[in-house]
């Protein structure tokens, strides 16, 4: 009977000491494998918004499914738990274990963060993924967020974006003077250098701000998202290409303490769920933008036009100045920029005789 009682206590996670006191049993690999975790995920996007919102939803779903429910992730869209631009602080503080957004939103935390989202006239999605996974980019990104107790993971890419929606024509550089435009990150700093007035606001505020004249122009993503937002109702001039965001990496923010509390297999599930969504989102945008662009033109009579060569040339010149100046502001930004620039040059040399050469060939 005594032996049976002892085994029962041990099975309940307790052992008896010589003095008759109870003591917690050590946590073993088996007990860790049996643990379950309730996680929250906050996002900068409206819940289930095509592409961006569903990308965040897919991260939450995959972590839950791939872990067999050992991690249950509850998703909160922009504004449901915290405002969109408070996502980083919410994850850093541990109120939520996961967040989904874009690194250029956190330039107030670190200027270097912007390089991990999009650089004007920089690398496209394919090139960004190569730099992050095989060119040292992830290591630098991890270092950038380390002081905040946050781990980053690439978790989506929009591909080359559109230049934006304008309520007036852009025929020369002078037309950018005084232009109030919703445009984040380094692209916004370039616009300001060109005489414009960049405005930072979450996606949920764009339509009303355009409709009421708070802003004169906005970039968002591309046809797939822009059609869903109904931006064709508030502006008819739709310019391309997205010089400011040639391949925007979306991110999953992971609270470091929460991640470290997981057993190794669950850590792998979290990071690999992000990697799956990173590739899947780009494929979705590539597929969906085609149909959406046709609908904008054929059903809503949107005026799709390229930026004038003069405007692009000026924006390129200003972009080089702005990005270099940002890199000079601190040692970390300088190292990130150096890595980014060196990798971009290598991949340009290769793509000139591969991707670009083939696309030119295919065009005939």
Domain assignments of the chain as residue spans, ordered by start: 34-156+247-286
- pLDDT value at residue 22: 42
Phi, psi values for residue 204, rounded to 5°? -65, -20
- Residue 140 CA to residue 160 CA, distance in Å, equals 23
> For residue 251, what are its two tokens?
């991110």
**141-161: per-residue pLDDT in tens?**
999 999 999 999 999 999 999
Q: Looking at domain 34-156+247-286, which of 3.40.720.10, 3.30.1490.20, 3.30.450.20, 3.40.190.170 is its CATH number?
A: 3.40.190.170
Contact 179, 217 (CB under 8 A): yes
**3-class DSSP state for residue 149?**
coil
Average pLDDT over all residues of the chain: 92
32 — pLDDT class (breaks 50, 70, 90): low
- Residue 181 CA to residue 235 CA, distance in Å, equals 12
364 — pLDDT class (breaks 50, 70, 90): confident
Residue position matching structure tokens 């669950």: 266
- pLDDT value at residue 247: 96
Task: Name the region of 265 (left: φ>0; alpha: ψ -120 to 50; beta: rest).
Answer: alpha
- Residue 202 CA to residue 107 CA, distance in Å, equals 15
SS (H, E, C) 27-59: CCHHHHHHCCEEEEEEECCCCCCCCHHHHHHHH
**41-58: per-residue pLDDT in tens?**
999 999 889 999 999 999
Counting residues of the chain whose pLDDT is more than 90, the rounded percentage is 89
pTM, two decimals, is 0.89
Residue position matching structure tokens 């609270």: 255
- Residue 85 CA to residue 103 CA, distance in Å, equals 11
């Amino acid at each position: 009977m005594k032996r049976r009682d002892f085994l029962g206590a041990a099975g309940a996670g307790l052992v008896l000491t010589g003095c008759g006191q109870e003591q917690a049993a050590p946590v073993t690999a088996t007990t860790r494998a049996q643990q379950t975790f309730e996680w929250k995920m906050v996002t900068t996007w409206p819940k289930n918004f095509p592409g961006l919102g569903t990308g965040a939803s897919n991260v939450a779903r995959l972590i839950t499914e791939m872990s067999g429910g050992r991690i249950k992730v509850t998703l909160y869209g922009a504004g449901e738990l915290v405002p969109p631009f408070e996502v980083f602080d919410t994850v850093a503080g541990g109120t939520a274990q996961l967040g989904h957004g874009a690194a250029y939103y956190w330039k107030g935390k670190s200027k270097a963060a912007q390089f991990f989202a999009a650089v004007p006239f920089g690398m496209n999605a394919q090139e960004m993924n190569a730099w992050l996974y095989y060119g040292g980019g992830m290591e630098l990104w991890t270092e950038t967020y380390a002081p905040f107790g946050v781990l980053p993971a690439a978790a989506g890419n929009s591909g080359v974006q559109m230049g934006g929606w304008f309520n007036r024509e852009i025929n020369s550089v002078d037309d950018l003077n005084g232009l109030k435009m919703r445009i984040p990150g380094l692209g916004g700093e370039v616009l300001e250098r060109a005489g414009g007035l960049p405005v930072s606001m979450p996606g949920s505020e764009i339509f009303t701000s355009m409709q009421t004249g708070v802003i004169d122009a906005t970039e968002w993503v591309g046809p797939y998202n822009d059609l869903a937002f109904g931006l064709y109702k508030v502006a008819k001039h739709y310019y391309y290409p997205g010089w400011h965001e040639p391949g925007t990496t979306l991110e999953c923010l992971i609270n470091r303490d929460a991640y470290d509390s997981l057993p190794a297999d669950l850590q792998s599930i979290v990071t690999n769920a992000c990697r799956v969504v990173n590739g899947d989102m780009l494929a979705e945008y590539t597929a969906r933008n085609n149909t959406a662009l046709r609908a904008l033109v054929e059903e809503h009579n949107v005026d799709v036009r390229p930026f004038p060569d003069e405007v692009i040339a000026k924006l390129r010149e200003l972009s080089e100045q702005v990005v270099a100046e940002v890199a000079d502001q601190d040692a970390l930004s300088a190292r990130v920029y150096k890595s980014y620039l060196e990798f971009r040059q290598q991949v340009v040399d290769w793509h000139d005789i591969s991707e670009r050469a083939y696309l030119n060939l295919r065009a005939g």
